[in-house]
Structure 1
Amino acid sequence: MRLSSLVTVLLAAALAAPAAADAWVQTFPQGAQVFTPLIADPRETQLSASYYRLNGRNDADVALGHAWGIIRWRTGILSDWLWQLDFEGMAYSRFQLGGGINKFEAVDFFANLPIEVRKGPASFKAELFHESSHLGDDYIRDTGNTGFRYSVEGVRGLAALDASRYLRVYAGPSWLIHTVPAPQRWALQSGFELTSDDLHWSSSSPMRLFVAQDLQSRENVQWNLDSNTVAGLKIGFAGSPRSMRVQFGYFTGHSPYGQFYAQKEHYADIGLAFDL
């Protein structure tokens, strides 16, 4: 099936459902609220920065991403199915830090069109996505490596369950409709998130401890496992779904950057992320 056909089907399903249900509809809601973003997924749409040591270098990742809500609606006899169509975009960059000059190494661009649905403790997400990866001028000048064309489009599905007030688990597959350069198309993802009760350190800002684990296995690297573990403090704002995370992490596996997807990386990082 061509990508344009999938987009048409996805949009038709999203826009037809609220009209047929004759139920509550909201346009341009806050994005990424029905299916809560994954804390430990390195490529979750986010606004974040992190520092780590890789191969004896000081490196930093900077993610500039956001989710825009398009339409939200309810269906079901009790209006207990909550749906939302979003658009997500992100630029994810790596810099080598040193002296007075920070060298630009690589950037990946993402564009996603997800449909999210929630019923009680269960939530689901199905999306079309695009990713392209590019080497930075500083990296090319230092290494002489001009890289290769990396561009993929595909579909991804995720199911999540709030198993308790503290535990969330999730899993799902993805399949590439178009892929350059590797022909392999399948990937699997799973993980969990543990979140504490409010620590009551501040009356105006709820604070919670969290631990999250994300596991991914891709056919284009012989199904070898990529693991990202994150732990830290989530600081909220009273009366708002927005929050900030101060976190420590450890990644081991093949690089999440497209230009380096065949290279293995291992590093511990410290970071700051915002849920906007």
Structure 2
Amino acid sequence: MDPSKKVFGSRTHKQHRSLTGRLFVLGSLMMWGMAVSVSAESDLVPDVEVSKADGGLRFFPSNDVFRPLLADPKERQFFMSLLSVKTPAQTFTAWSVGFGESLGLVRWDGKSFQAQLGFLAGVFSQFNWSTPSKDLINTDFTFGLAATHRWHDFTGRLQYYHQSSHLGDELLLNNPIPRLNYSYEAIEEVLALENSLFRIYAGGEYLTSRDPADLKPWNIHWGAELRGGDSPAFFRPVAGLDITWKQQHSAEYNFSVKAGLEMGKPALRDRHIRLLAEFYDGYSPYGQFFDEKIRYWGAGVYVGF
């Protein structure tokens, strides 16, 4: 590859706005429809573990009050995805892998309110499978604290975390591109309305410390999910749409869509395997390349414990 070209490249603004405009309208309509469905199905109880005794304090709970976001490409979870990545500079095959989880430390269970405090950590790496040496492109490391809460059908997650990003050795050897020291600390709150079939969510993020210093601090995040409900069936359909707006790219939106099957017993909601088709269009979610356009599609295996 020509060293002068960016690793992920950049699409023209006119082409990107045309696509993102259509996706924005589609996503907004999907979220509106799900909001109506959530209100209509409010009698369905979300499948979240609840203590049998009101006012119970528990240490090291087995699951979380806030369900991980299905379509967020940077949600901390265990997965591996085979992707076809397309940029104006090149098209290549990539493996994207992630290792991450949240560990609950202490939880309060009340009659209608629950709150939990815990740790979170994750690692996200991408490999260029079209190169002879299967180059490691980039790795993002993230860790922090999370406070999650639930009141009836409303849930939320407040987290403070650090992220740092590092380029792969093979990439630097084969492409003498300038290295960027990209890291930040951020505080984020996401609020959701959900039942056993649907969830809609929205939130915001502020980067309290950032490198490079000119990285703009505000991000907005929203999306919607569809699940197979509380059916006793071992297989359940799942789908999610995740949209982000970043002040760094104020005229653009980033879209992530994932859909497929979830396998596992409903009683053990955090223990599952998901087979998902996925699509992404927008600025790269991979740390070092945050300022470059990318589009990919493929399929992945996601494991919850």
TM range (shorter): 0.7 to 0.9
Give the structure, 1 or 2, with the largest relative contact order (CA under 8 Å, sep 6 or more).
2
The yes-or-no answer on 1:134 pairing with 2:162 is: no
The CA distance in 2 between the partners of 1:260 and 1:66, in whole Å, is: 24
Instruction: Tell me the CA shift for residue 223 of structure 1.
Output: 4.5
The CA distance in 1 between the partners of 2:229 and 2:216, in whole Å, is: 42
Q: TM-score, normalised by structure 1?
A: 0.84
Residue in 2 aligned with 1:49?
80
Instruction: Tell me the CA shift for residue 240 of structure 1.
Output: 2.0
Residue in 2 aligned with 1:214?
242
The CA distance in 2 between the partners of 1:237 and 1:223, in whole Å, is: 43
Cα pair distance change 1:239/1:250, threshold 3 Å: same
Q: Following superposition, which runs of at least 4 residues in structure 1 exceed 6 angstroms of deviation?
A: none
Instruction: Tell me the CA shift for residue 92 of structure 1.
Output: 0.2
The answer to whether the Cα contact below 8 Å between 1:198 and 1:208 also exists between their aligned partners in 2 is no
The yes-or-no answer on 1:58 pairing with 2:93 is: yes
Q: Structure 2: which 5+ runs fail to align?
A: 1-53
The yes-or-no answer on 1:169 pairing with 2:200 is: yes
Instruction: Tell me the CA shift for residue 197 of structure 1.
Output: 4.2
Residue in 1 aligned with 2:272?
243
- SS of the aligned residue for 1:141 comes to helix
The answer to whether the Cα contact below 8 Å between 1:135 and 1:146 also exists between their aligned partners in 2 is no
Instruction: Tell me the CA shift for residue 100 of structure 1.
Output: 6.4
- SS of the aligned residue for 1:138 comes to helix
Cα pair distance change 1:154/1:26, threshold 3 Å: same
Residue in 2 aligned with 1:115?
147
Out of 52-61 and 263-272, give the one that drifted further: 52-61
Instruction: Tell me the CA shift for residue 129 of structure 1.
Output: 1.1
Opposite residue 246 of structure 2, the aligned amino acid is R
Opposite residue 69 of structure 1, the aligned amino acid is G
The yes-or-no answer on 1:91 pairing with 2:126 is: no
Identity of aligned residues (%): 28
- 1:41-86 deviation digits (Å, cap 9, x = unpaired): 00111000101112321101100111111101134xxx32111011
Q: TM-score, normalised by structure 2?
A: 0.77
Opposite residue 105 of structure 2, the aligned amino acid is I
The CA distance in 1 between the partners of 2:267 and 2:202, in whole Å, is: 30
Counting only pairs closer than 5 Å after superposition, residues 220-259 of structure 1 correspond to structure 2 as: 220-237=248-265, 239-241=267-269, 242-259=271-288
Residue in 1 aligned with 2:13?
none
- SS of the aligned residue for 1:104 comes to strand
The CA distance in 1 between the partners of 2:92 and 2:130, in whole Å, is: 8
The answer to whether the Cα contact below 8 Å between 2:72 and 2:242 also exists between their aligned partners in 1 is yes
Paired residue total: 246
- SS of the aligned residue for 2:264 comes to strand
